[in-house]
Structure 1
Amino acid sequence: MGLRCAVVDDYQQVATSVVDWSGLADDVEVVSFGEHFADEDALVAALDGFDIVVTLRERVAFPGSVIGRLPRLRLLVASGMRNSVIDYAAAEAHGVTVCGTASSPTPPVELTWALLLGLARGLVAENAALRAGGPWQSTLGADLHGQRLGLLGLGKIGERVARVGLAFGMRVSAWSRHLTQERADEVGVERVASKEELLRTSDFVSLHLVLSERTRGLLGAAELALLKPTAYLVNTSRAGLVDQEALLAALREGRIAGAGVDVFDSEPLPADDPMRSAPRLLATPHLGYVSRANYERYYGQAVEDIRAYLAGEPIRVLGPA
């Protein structure tokens, strides 16, 4: 029996067409799954009998309870070089090699600005009104030039967001627990002493931090209350950085001008989730890394990972952070 490879959560059904998988055809049968599996039982049932699984970012969790129920699994390829939802110890214990791929910071930077600009100029409301024959001009746009952009996090993505803000003529400030003055000077932004100061003084706030036990719930009700009523919040990083109930309350009560959100506690977002109907919210279905170039990178390197594994020389092997 030949090897079988499952590509999971291929929502757009493009994984097998954006790159050439034909080089594996003699050794591996590739099967793409477009639906999201709702629970572990459904996932295990679908992947039973597969030797290789290719998963995109952190869409699907692979805890020990899943890995232990997939006796044929030998290779797990995850896009990106960091994945917090894979149990690496369980993978090692069951003889499963985990490999990653490169990932570009450019797509999430561009989506961050799409959300921020969409919020600032009321694009969703204005487009809906124009299409429906509604009022001609119903919003008053927020200017970017001269306004303060506050960044929570100044890593690879945060730095690029900062440089775009500076190009717009914005005053850019940043904070994170480990941000140094040297790093802030390197990017050309102001380093503030605390997240509270950043929240109080910013007109636009954007999050660019890794989710960890230290950053989970970084912005709760008390922190959101520090934002100006004219301020906008953008989160393209991880939903867990922000208390979702507190954010919903701030939006419903009009305590902030709006929020742009690309990440959610539960994905895909349930049909009845209150985030779907929240006012002052511009939401996208976790599109941050979803671009043609990034998919070509992910799946092209997934093919490379599989070839290398079959040759007995795995590459881009991942383990605990």
Structure 2
Amino acid sequence: MAVQIAVIDDWQDVARNVVDWSQLDDIGQVTFVHDYPADNETLAQRLGAFEVICVMRERTRFDADLLGRLPNLKLLLTGGMRNAALDLKAAALGIQVCGTDSYKHAAPELTWALIMAATRNLVAQANALRAGVWQQGLGGDLHGKTLAILGLGSIGQRVAQFGQVFGMRVIAWSENLTAERAAEFGVTYVSKQELFEQADVLSVHLVLSDRSRGLVDAEALGWMKPTALLVNTARGPIVDEAALIKALQKRRLAGAALDVFDVEPLPPHHPFRTLENVLATPHVGYVSQQNYHLFFSQMIEDIQAWSAGQPIRLLT
């Protein structure tokens, strides 16, 4: 009997064309579901018939309650090897969970695009040109300025390299970082307070955890220069959203460039949609051609391996 396979969270309706899903024809039938996340009762009705579900990152939350409402589910697949929206302990009760590799350049490239666009005020300049206006105000500069990186992991390291190419002084801090480790990448280790105080551009590159949640709070934002730019392409809850909104409204911070938020999709009347000193994008740091191709091609491999009784890239 054909296995019922769902590809969900495909909000842009792109999944069917990124890879060749006919590779699974001898295993089962693939259905593409484009709906946004909903309550568990609705999700259970929507997904109850499927034995295999492919999810995109952390769009739909699979908690113990929802997993308990999906008795047919045998295999849950996610883009990447980490997904905080999946209850892996509950999934271990008979559901196998597998992941994929990630294209490592997508998020750093988007981070730098945001830094440059916000610094040079490119959105306003482009919109002015379209409106028939010419040269609105002055753009900022990066050469000689200080790039502060909160979290010098694989993404933070690449962003540091970009900053160095642009002639920026690069500093970094995280709870696990040492001066020796930072020096390996030509980066200066500083204290947390020094990181925020010295930053002309502060870019967040931490994994969301109990330790990092709310780490960029009102106190930390208060340490920053009023001319500084905060950039977050990591996870929304690392930054205290209410404190950031207040700082931006009162111009205690020059601006913010954000790709991630506490609630996604961003609510319709959220201040980040209207504040003039915010450049906001809809969590597209991982939404690139190569990353999606890698995610979905390896999901196909995961399904084939699971069907053959030899699952790969297991998260549980």
TM-score range relative to shorter protein = over 0.9
Select 1:165's aligned residue among 141, 163, 166.
163
Question: How far 1:271 moved relative to its partner?
Answer: 1.3
Aligned identity (percent) is 52
Question: How far 1:274 moved relative to its partner?
Answer: 2.3
Match of 2:204 in 1: 207
Question: How far 1:278 moved relative to its partner?
Answer: 2.1
* Counterpart-to-counterpart distance in 1, 2:306 and 2:295: 16
Question: How far 1:40 moved relative to its partner?
Answer: 1.8
Matched, 1:301 2:287: no
Write out aligned runs for 1:260-279 (5 A).
260-279=257-276
Structure 1: 5+ residue stretches without partners: none
Question: How far 1:42 moved relative to its partner?
Answer: 2.0
Matched, 1:109 2:108: yes
SS of equivalent residue, structure 1 residue 76: strand
Match of 2:30 in 1: 30
Match of 1:6 in 2: 6
* Counterpart-to-counterpart distance in 1, 2:249 and 2:25: 53
Write out aligned runs for 1:1-321 (5 A).
1-93=1-93, 95-134=94-133, 136-192=134-190, 194-319=191-316
Question: How far 1:38 moved relative to its partner?
Answer: 2.5
Question: How far 1:22 moved relative to its partner?
Answer: 0.9
Question: How far 1:105 moved relative to its partner?
Answer: 2.2
Question: How far 1:27 moved relative to its partner?
Answer: 2.0
User: Retained in 2: the 8 A contact 1:55–1:76?
Assistant: yes
- Code of the residue aligned with 2:285 in structure 1: it is G
Q: Deviations over 1:19-55 (max 9, x none)?
A: 1111211221111111212222222111010000000
* Counterpart-to-counterpart distance in 2, 1:289 and 1:92: 27
The worse-fitting range, judged by mean Cα deviation, of 162-171 and 3-12 is 3-12
* Counterpart-to-counterpart distance in 2, 1:236 and 1:307: 33
Q: Deviations over 1:189-248 (max 9, x none)?
A: 1000x2111100110000000111111100111111111111000000000110101111
- Code of the residue aligned with 2:201 in structure 1: it is F
Aligned structure 1 segments of 4 or more residues deviating by more than 6 angstroms: none
* Counterpart-to-counterpart distance in 1, 2:137 and 2:52: 51
Structure 2: 5+ residue stretches without partners: none
TM-score (norm 2): 0.98
* Counterpart-to-counterpart distance in 2, 1:90 and 1:184: 38
The worse-fitting range, judged by mean Cα deviation, of 102-111 and 303-312 is 102-111
- How many residue pairs get aligned? The number is 316
